[in-house]
Structure 1
Amino acid sequence: MGTWGTAIKDSDAFADIYSEFFDLYNKGGQPDIISKKIVDDKWEILEIEEEKNSLWFALALAQWETKSLDPKVLSTVEEIIISDADLKIWLDLGASEQYIKKRKIALEKFLEKIKSDRPKVKPRKREKLKTPIFAIGDCLVFKLTNGNYGGAVVLATDNNPETGYNLVATTRLNQNNKPTLKDFENAEVLICNFGQWKDKVDVTWYMPDLFYKDYADSYEINGNITVELEYEIKNYDGKGYLFKPSWTSGWSMNYSAERQFESELTKPKPSKILTIKQLTKKVKWLKVF
């Protein structure tokens, strides 16, 4: 499962499906052919209880925006929402009553939206060259629902104009005051054991596509620290790294942190510890003569 917020778009699975649909649509693809390709290619998501609904929600919204909503997809989404099947998944994952209420409202508004008539088809966009949102070493601050500040550190950039990813490590910062550079340098990396995660290090390559539209208001840069290590985007398995990276277009570091901290109210935090220093500083060995 990727990171989640209560809004329909606030899951990595949704963001990835929605982004892929419009990547193909903007290149001239037909909605029905794109939809079939996505279902065929992403069939494994439909076998993951925590993520399968996000596929149908993303597909339904993309089809609605292109005035091609398949009645079968609409029926599937309607059944998921009316039966409270999605809310049951959240309950099973230990979501709080507050989260459940917010999610229910979001689901009902979403169903109402896609059952309405969209005035016109969303126009295709010209493909633009992509650049990473942030620079290596940028320290990102975000607010948590408890009123505290959380944070993340940018470890790498991908300068391929077709992708433009940033590699970001979410931290365990959770404090009253806005984090200083020293706080970031001394922070632990967020390791997730909520839901189905088992000590998953939260270090992810984030696509730039949806940032300014859906996530820019959630994050601000609060300085920059030195990153001495280099990370390669083609190292899919994280060989030689202290983590295995993930990929997504949903910038949901804040929700990932919130879900983990909420989970720790009823279960132990992961015993594994990883620090920002370990991911940014080269080990300096003393020479023995």
Structure 2
Amino acid sequence: MGTWGTSIKDNDAFADVYSEFFDFYNKGGQPEIISKKIIEDNWEILEIEEEKNSLWFALALAQWETKSLDPKIISKVEEIILSGVDLKIWLSLGASEQDIKKRKIALDKFLEKIKSDRPKAKPRKRKKLKTPIFATGDCLVFKLSNGNYGGAVVLATDNNPETAYNLVVTTRLNQSNKPTIKDFQNTEVLICNFGQWQDKADVTWYMPDLFYKDYADIYEKIGKISVDLEYDNKNHDGKGYLFKPSWTACWGMNNAADKQFESELTKPKPKKTLTIKQLTKKEKWWKVF
């Protein structure tokens, strides 16, 4: 299951499908052909109950923005929203009553939007060279829904101008005062067991494409720690690492932390533990023997 927020866009599956659509669109692809390819290539998402709706939402928004909205797609989205099936999924995942209300408002506004007439199609963007949003070791602070501060650490930077990923680990910081560098050095990694997660470390390669548009105001860089270990974005399975990374364009570290801490109010925290030091510092030679 991906990162979740009540907004239509606050979901890994949505962000990935939407980003993929415009990658092809900006290269000259035709919306109808792109849409068909996305449905064929992402069949796994359509088999995941809690994520499949986000694929249809992302596709509908992308088609609406390019004035190519397929009547079958908008009919599908309308059926999902008016039937309440999306809200039922949220209920089954343990969403709070407040989140359900926010989600319903977001769904209704989304349906109203894509049923309106867009004046003109979104122009294609020329391909730009990308740069990573953050540097290795950057410590990021964000506000949690409980009013406390949470945090994340950048473990690696991909300097390929066509991808420019950042590998980011979410921490278990959850405190009333803004975290210090020492707090980051001594904290644990966020291990998720909310919803369908099963003790998975929240470590993700984030694409830079949507950061400044949708997420820049959420995260604040407050300093840097040293990262002695190296991580390769070609290592998709995390072979040799203490975690298996995820991949997304949705910078949802704050949502993952919110959901996990909320879950722990009624459910035991994961027994598995992992520290930031374990992901940033090389093992001392005398500890090997």
TM-score normalized by the length of structure 1: 0.99
In structure 2, distance between residues paired with 1:270 and 1:216: 30
Which residue matches 2:197? 197
In structure 1, distance between residues paired with 2:287 and 2:52: 54
Which residue matches 2:64? 64
In structure 2, distance between residues paired with 1:269 and 1:79: 37
Which residue matches 1:257? 257
Which residue matches 2:283? 283
The correspondence of residues 27-38 of structure 1 with structure 2, limited to 5 A, is 27-38=27-38
Which residue matches 1:97? 97
Which residue matches 1:139? 139
SS in structure 2 at match of 1:182: helix
In structure 2, distance between residues paired with 1:265 and 1:208: 33
In structure 1, distance between residues paired with 2:45 and 2:219: 28
CA deviation profile, 1:222-250 (whole Å, cap 9, x unmatched): 10000000001111111110000010000
Which residue matches 2:214? 214
In structure 2, distance between residues paired with 1:112 and 1:286: 63
Within the alignment, does 1:170 sit opposite 2:163 as a pair? Answer: no
CA deviation profile, 1:66-95 (whole Å, cap 9, x unmatched): 000001100110011001110111100001
Which residue matches 1:44? 44
- Compared CA separation, residues 285 and 23, structure 1 to 2 (3 A): same
SS in structure 2 at match of 1:154: strand
2:253 corresponds to which letter in structure 1?
Answer: M
Within the alignment, does 1:8 sit opposite 2:13 as a pair? Answer: no
SS in structure 1 at match of 2:244: coil
1:204 corresponds to which letter in structure 2?
Answer: T
Q: How far has the Cα of 1:265 moved from its partner?
A: 1.1
Which residue matches 1:156? 156
Which residue matches 1:234? 234
1:213 corresponds to which letter in structure 2?
Answer: K
Q: How far has the Cα of 1:282 moved from its partner?
A: 0.6
- Compared CA separation, residues 287 and 23, structure 1 to 2 (3 A): closer
Within the alignment, does 1:75 sit opposite 2:75 as a pair? Answer: yes
SS in structure 1 at match of 2:217: helix
SS in structure 2 at match of 1:267: coil
In structure 1, distance between residues paired with 2:177 and 2:13: 32
Q: How far has the Cα of 1:287 moved from its partner?
A: 8.5
Which residue matches 1:111? 111
Extract unaligned runs of 5+ from structure 1: none
1:97 corresponds to which letter in structure 2?
Answer: E
Extract unaligned runs of 5+ from structure 2: none
CA deviation profile, 1:47-71 (whole Å, cap 9, x unmatched): 0001000000000000000000001
Q: How far has the Cα of 1:285 moved from its partner?
A: 2.3
In structure 2, distance between residues paired with 1:173 and 1:142: 10
In structure 1, distance between residues paired with 2:37 and 2:178: 44
Q: How far has the Cα of 1:286 moved from its partner?
A: 2.4
In structure 2, distance between residues paired with 1:265 and 1:95: 13
In structure 2, distance between residues paired with 1:28 and 1:8: 26
Moved over 6 A (4+): none
2:229 corresponds to which letter in structure 1?
Answer: L
CA deviation profile, 1:235-271 (whole Å, cap 9, x unmatched): 1111110000010000000001101111111111110
In structure 2, distance between residues paired with 1:89 and 1:261: 20
1:56 corresponds to which letter in structure 2?
Answer: W
Percent of aligned pairs sharing the same letter: 83
SS in structure 2 at match of 1:266: coil
CA deviation profile, 1:84-110 (whole Å, cap 9, x unmatched): 110111100001111111000000000
- Compared CA separation, residues 287 and 50, structure 1 to 2 (3 A): closer
In structure 2, distance between residues paired with 1:227 and 1:202: 17
Which residue matches 1:24? 24
For these two proteins, the number of residue pairs brought into alignment is 289
